[in-house]
Amino acid sequence: MSSAPRPAGGLWLPLVLLALFAAAPLAGLAGSPGFVLSLASRVMIFALAALALDLILGYGAIVSFGHAAFIGIGAYAAGIADAHGLGDVTVALPAALGASALFALATGAVSLRTRGVYLIMITLAFGQMAYFVATSLKDYGGDDGLTLTTRSTVLGFDWLENDLAFHYVTLAALAGFYLLCRVIVVSRFGRVLAGIRENPERMRAIGYDPYPYQLAAYVIAGMIAGVAGFLLANQAEFVSPSYMSWQRSGELIMMVVLGGAGSLHGAVIGAAVYLLAQEYLALLTEHWKLVFGPLLILAVLFANGGLTGLLASPRFGRPDPSQSKTQTISDT
């Protein structure tokens, strides 16, 4: 069996990213600590959701336009649990994981039997279905969304009410799931997934049916995005059907592409750049979208392999890992 594919960039770049997130509260000492903590936590939450999408898009070539549905499901699990007085993480978090996994299993079982534009459209349809179900939940706010009475407790203690504590809990979740995804990618399962991405017919010929591997990856990605939704609900202390919209799914795809699909930490970089650029441009002009759109187009056109590909290009003194062939299973 050939050597396992490894996420480009080694460990130094992920460690730098996590260190920057860990040091983010220090930036708040210069002023507006609440805003800095809120923004940093939000960036990490969407980085976690983008990381989940990169697992299936960058490594499994599964283009999902309904990935935001899992964020919304995780968020509503937290909100509904809170509405019924069951807001402790020992109840709300398993509910978010279970609901996301079930939705991913049910929709993935159907969606992954299609390919190309049909896959994109059916994931979009399932995502919009979840969105309209959320808007119909009149007992839980409907179109207006649902406000949480408090952040989820931890074994009865309100530790997450402290913004600094919540920031580091979110950081721990991002670091933990990054390591999990990295282990998955370099495992036998990840090697099969990479082989399916490169040549599914060849994988069938050597005895690997792509469908169960892709479905398993889809469910794992859905659960990770569900955790991101759970954290987002607690960060904002609010849940809205807009979390599930197709526009949100499109933003997640853009984050992955901007950072560099198939590098894991590229998803984190893409989410950070995407959200921080939005915040900065919004401070400069109310027409920031007219500037933001062309900048994204230029980044995609001229940064081959996304921002991580740009960092690894020869102009920065590093070889471009995208030029090396992806190694897959050659024998068993």
- Looking up residue 302, the CATH number of its domain turns out to be 1.10.3470
**For the chain, the helix, strand and coil percentages under 3-state DSSP, each to the nearest 5:** 75, 0, 25
- Please, what is the angle between helix 188-198 and helix 163-186, to 10°? 70
Residue 30 domain-assigned (yes or no): no
pLDDT confidence of residue 290:
85
Going through the chain in order, the beta strands assigned E by DSSP cover 146-147, 238-239
Residue 215 domain-assigned (yes or no): yes
Residue 198 domain-assigned (yes or no): yes
Which residues pair with residue 157 across a beta bridge? 154
pLDDT confidence of residue 314:
54
Which run of H or of E encompasses 264?
Answer: none
Residue 32 domain-assigned (yes or no): no
pLDDT confidence of residue 60:
87
Residue 131 domain-assigned (yes or no): yes
Distance CA 237, CA 78 (A): 10
Nearest of 236, 267, 233, 215 to residue 72 by alpha carbon: 233
What does the pLDDT average to over 38-62? Answer: 93
Best mean pLDDT range from 280-289, 310-319, 323-332: 280-289
Residue 6 domain-assigned (yes or no): no
pLDDT confidence of residue 82:
92
Residue type, 106: A
Residue 2 domain-assigned (yes or no): no
Reported as a single tens digit per residue, the pLDDT across 215-236 is 999 999 999 999 999 999 999 9
Residue 75 domain boundaries: 12-17+37-323
Distance CA 1, CA 121 (A): 36
Residue 125 domain-assigned (yes or no): yes
Reported as a single tens digit per residue, the pLDDT across 71-110 is 999 999 999 999 999 989 999 999 999 999 999 999 999 9
pLDDT confidence of residue 92:
94
What is the b/e burial string over 270-307, where b = at least 16 CB atoms within 10 angstroms of the residue's CB?
Answer: bbbbbbebeeebeeeeeebeeebeeebeebeeebebbb
pLDDT confidence of residue 24:
87
Q: How many domains does the chain have?
A: 1
What does the pLDDT average to over 113-122? Answer: 91
Query: What percentage of residues in the chain have a pLDDT greater than 70?
Result: 88
pLDDT confidence of residue 321:
42
What does the pLDDT average to over 10-27? Answer: 84
Name the region of 239 (left: φ>0; alpha: ψ -120 to 50; beta: rest). Answer: beta
Which residues pair with residue 238 across a beta bridge? 147
Distance CA 265, CA 178 (A): 8
Nearest of 2, 319, 39, 61 to residue 196 by alpha carbon: 61
* Residue 286 pLDDT class (50, 70, 90 cuts): confident
pLDDT confidence of residue 26:
85
* Residue 315 pLDDT class (50, 70, 90 cuts): low
Two tokens, residue 267: 């998803």
Nearest of 188, 176, 260 to residue 224 by alpha carbon: 176
pLDDT confidence of residue 323:
40
What does the pLDDT average to over 167-190? Answer: 94
Q: Does residue 327 surpass a pLDDT of 90?
A: no
What does the pLDDT average to over 262-271? Answer: 89
pLDDT confidence of residue 3:
44
